[in-house]
Each structure stands twice: as C-alpha cells, then as structure tokens.
A and B are shown apart, each in its own frame.
Chain A
Amino acid sequence: MSDTLLFGVLPYLAVGIFLIVTIQRYRQRTFTYSSLSSQFLENKKHFWGSVPFHYGILFVLFLHLAGLVIPDMILAWNAVPLRLFVTEATGLAMALIALVGLVNIVLRRMQVSKARTVTTPSDWIVYALLGVQIVTGIGVAIFHGWGSSWFATSLTPWFWSLVRLEPELSYVSALPFLVKLHVVNAWLLIGFFPFTRLVHVLVVPNQYLWRRTQVVIWNHDRHTTRSVD
C-alpha cells in the first residue's frame, strides 16, 4: 500500500507540482528565477561551498540521467569490471565532493551573519532535502553497490513504466530501505523544486561552467521578491 503511494502516486504528484508551479512562477514572477547570489557578502567560504557542491552534484546527476536514458550503454561499459570500478569510484568521489560543498554551504549560512540574513526557510528545506539525498546516495554506493549497474536494470524499467503511465512496482518494491529513501527523497526534491532557489537550474546559462567567477550585487528587498505565495 505504502509502496503504491510512494512509487506509484508520489512521482506523478511531484512532476505535476513541478510543471504547474514552475510555469506559473516563470510567467508571474519571472525575476524570482534565480538563486540570489550571496557571494558578494562572503567569498572565502562561498568558494569551498559552491564550487565542490555544483561540480559534484552535476556529475552525479548526469550519471543518473545516463542510467535512465542509455541504460544499455551503461551496462555495456560496466561489462568490464575495471571500467565498472572506475565509474563507481568516480561517482563516490563526486558525491563526497558534493557533500563537502553542501556542508560548507550550510556552515556558511549558519556562521556568517550577512549570509544568514538573506536565508529563507525554503533554503533550509532545500539544504535538508539535498543533505538527505547526498547522504543516502553515498550510503547506497557503499552498502548496496554497484548501483550504476543495477539502477539500469531495476530503477530504469520502473521509471519508464511511470512514463508509460503503467507503473510496475515489482521492480522497486523489494529494494533495500536506503535505496527507497533515496528514490522517495528525489521525488520530494522535484516536488519542492519550484518553490525554492533550485529554479535557477532551469535558467542557468551553460557558460557558468567555465566562465570566470564574477561578483553579483543585489539591492532589492529579498522578502518581497523571493516569496512564492
């Protein structure tokens, strides 16, 4: 029963909220589509938060997407144990880097009074969800390896069964608790996404990945601009 709710209903709910609210927010409050840089307020800790977090999380996220879109190629790559080990170790390293980044981000938000002033409750929700996501992901990598392979054979068919609107829960119902928590939390992240600073993901220019860092100054009232009500 709970499996039906968590793996057969929650995904649709999350995607529904995601689509409706992101579009509505973009149309009605276009200029809230930002992560509101606080780099100008504090820059030393910011570097060790933002940079590792973003490189780590993007690498891991793209590995997951590859598992969904080209599972056969992933399995073919993993067919040579050495390549599998390289993939898994790199994935673990990038997840650890993302965790280092997130811890630094949270510490900075707590310790630097200027950064704390521009922090909203939705930021804390984002940090909590991301924290659970990264920690459970690392836990899965360590205790239930090799996810890069079994993701492609268990979670990918389930994902596409959701897309076909014929959820096949048998693929996920027997997975370990930690894996289930990781999956459920991912849908929660998608559901909360449009209410938070995460929307910057949708409008991020790709050259952010290689352009020189720049200082951003904002001078508007964050409370009126940021709240989505």
Chain B
Amino acid sequence: MRKTVHTRMAGLALALLAASAAGQAPSEEAYDYFALNCKSCHTIGGGALTGPDLKGALDRANRDWLVKFIQHPKAVIDSGDAYGQSIFRDARGVYMPDPPGMTAALADKLVDVMEVEGALEKSRFAGLQISDRPLTAADVDFGRELFRGEVPFASGAPACFSCHTLAGAGGFGGGQLGPDLTAVYARLEGRKALAAWLSSPPSEIMTPIYRATPIESEEVLALTAYLKDTSATGQEAASNGTLAFLLTGFTLAALILVLFDLAWRDRYVATRAPLVALRHAAEHTIKPTALEGPHS
C-alpha cells in the first residue's frame, strides 16, 4: 500500500517534471486555437501541407524564435532571417498570415502544443484522414455541383461560387470576393493540402463562416476532385465574365430609361413649347390657310 502511494507520487513528480521541462502543460485554449487557426496549413507529425510539419519544430528553432515568428511571420521573413526565408521557400512563396488575436503568451502556449503533441506517437493534429481512394468522374460532377451551389452543402455552408470563379464557370463566372480557383490544386500542391484547407478554411473571411458550417469530408473529397480536374484542364486563367456582366448591366439600364420615357410620355413638360411644336408640325402637314392665326 505504502509502496503504491510512493510509486504514484513518484510518477506524479515525474509527470510534473516532464511538464515543466516542456514548458507549461498546454491549455485547452491553445489546443482550440491550434485546431481553428493552424491545422489547415500545419500537421504535427503528418507531413508538410502549405506550412511545415511542426513535429520537432523545437529541434529546428529555439523557443524564442518560434514565439517571435508565430506573432509576426511576415515581418520575420521580410527581415531576411535565414530560417524564415527557408520556410518561405518551402511554402512556395506563401506568407503565413498574422494569426488573429496572437500574443506572446499565446504563441508560447502554441509552442507547448507543438512540443507535447510532437512527442506523441500519433498526434491529434497528425492531419486529416481524407480517403486515398482514386477520384472518379462522379466525384468531379458532385464537386462541380457543390462548387456552384446547385447541390447545397450538408451543413448549409455557402457555395464556393459566391466568392470564387474558375475556368469554365460559364455565364458571367463566379464571384470575385476571393481569388480565382482554377489552379488552386496545383498552387497548394495537391490533394492533401487542398483537403486540409477546405476542411478548415484559414482565410480571414472564410474562417467565421465555415467554423459555423464546416464542409463534410465526402464533400471535401468531391471539391478536391473538381478542383484537380479544373487545374488539369483549365490551363489559362478563368475567362473573365466581368465584361459581359458590365455590358448586360449597361444595356439593361439603358432599356429601363427608355421604358421610363415611354411610361411617362404624357408627362407635363411645358405649356408653350408643345403648342409651338404642334403648330410647326401642323404647318407641314395641313394646308397653311386652315391654320392661319392672328400673327401670320
């Protein structure tokens, strides 16, 4: 009995020691933050996505550097920092955005998460388990329908077409709040990173929307298939429907103005002018004698 207690206490002490060696035990807040803001570009032990695999991050850089980088990634990269530059090259020139609401304390806790999760056999952030099955033509069709909103997402999430266009969108094309997605599959270098992005979109505009209405994994797969397809076939930038849209708008506006003129053709304009006009018209069509007035 006594021995058991001692063993337990020793175990506890060891655990505490381990925790203190690894900085503070990561808080739930840090885990939540990582899940919301980091995992769409980073895994811990699952390989690189847009950003590097964070397993062993502390072997590659010291804690102070990481805390500084997490707070202001672009500033560190632009300062010419050698390791920052190498990360930037590996990310194919994609800057890591400044994480929303980041502080030095929170960055420190995130480094704790990297350290603790990186030491595990399999981290909860090892990456998405998106099926590896071959993508079929049916997936492409389903993805296209989802993209355009013809089939709604199960969660009720807004269709991609609201804000994004791509080659072969047809008509006036897709929305232009976000970037053209024709080549996004190639830009993110493949299925894994794209699927991660779609599962938890990290852009500032998309995050609050898709946090409330996430895209399901089968839908992610279908979208990935569709975007892979457009990336392969749509060599050129998406045809721009803006000109057609503008021309349609201007033509419609002109037509409506003509309609107004017709609808109010009996509107009051002036008293004398119409009488003079009437007179002039009459002089050309009817015998002058019939219209002779006191002044003629």
Determine if B253 and A96 form an interchain contact, defined as CB atoms under 8 angstroms apart. yes
With a CB–CB cut-off of 8 A, which chain B residues contact A171?
208-209
> In the complex, what distance in Å separates the CA atom of A44 from the CA atom of B112?
74
B56 within 8 A of A: no
Within the assembled complex, what's the spacing in Å between the Cα atoms of A92 and B252? 9
* Of A96, A144, A152, most B-chain CB atoms within 10 Å: A96
Q: Which of A47, A82, A90, A97 contacts B171 (CB 8 A)?
A: A82
Interface residues on A, range: 35 or more
Stretch from A105-113, A173-181, A220-228 contacting the other chain: A173-181
Chain A nearest CB from B152 CB (Å) reads: 7
Can you list, as one digit per residue, whether each of B208-229 has a CB less than 8 Å from chain A (1) or not (0)?
1100000000000000000000
Query: Main SS of chain B's interface residues?
Result: loop
Stretch at the interface among B15-23, B77-85, B159-167, B189-197: B159-167
Partner of A93, one of B149, B161, B256: B256
**Bound Cα distance A115, B190 (Å):** 65
> Which of B176, B248, B252, B269 is within 8 Å of A145, CB to CB?
B176
What is the 8 Å Cβ interface bit string for chain A, positions 131-144, against chain B (1 contact, 0 not)?
00000000001111
Say whether A168 faces chain B, with CB atoms less than 8 Å apart.
yes
When A146-B162, A171-B208 are in contact, do A78 and B149 touch as well, CB less than 8 Å?
Answer: yes
Given contacts A82-B171, A142-B242, A215-B268, contact A174 B203 (CB under 8 A): yes
- 4 tightest Cβ-Cβ pairs between the two chains A and B: A174-B204, A149-B162, A92-B249, A93-B252
- Could you show 16 A-B contacts with beta carbons less than 8 Å apart? A43-B268, A55-B260, A78-B162, A79-B148, A79-B152, A81-B169, A84-B161, A89-B172, A89-B249, A92-B246, A100-B257, A147-B177, A149-B162, A174-B204, A176-B177, A213-B267
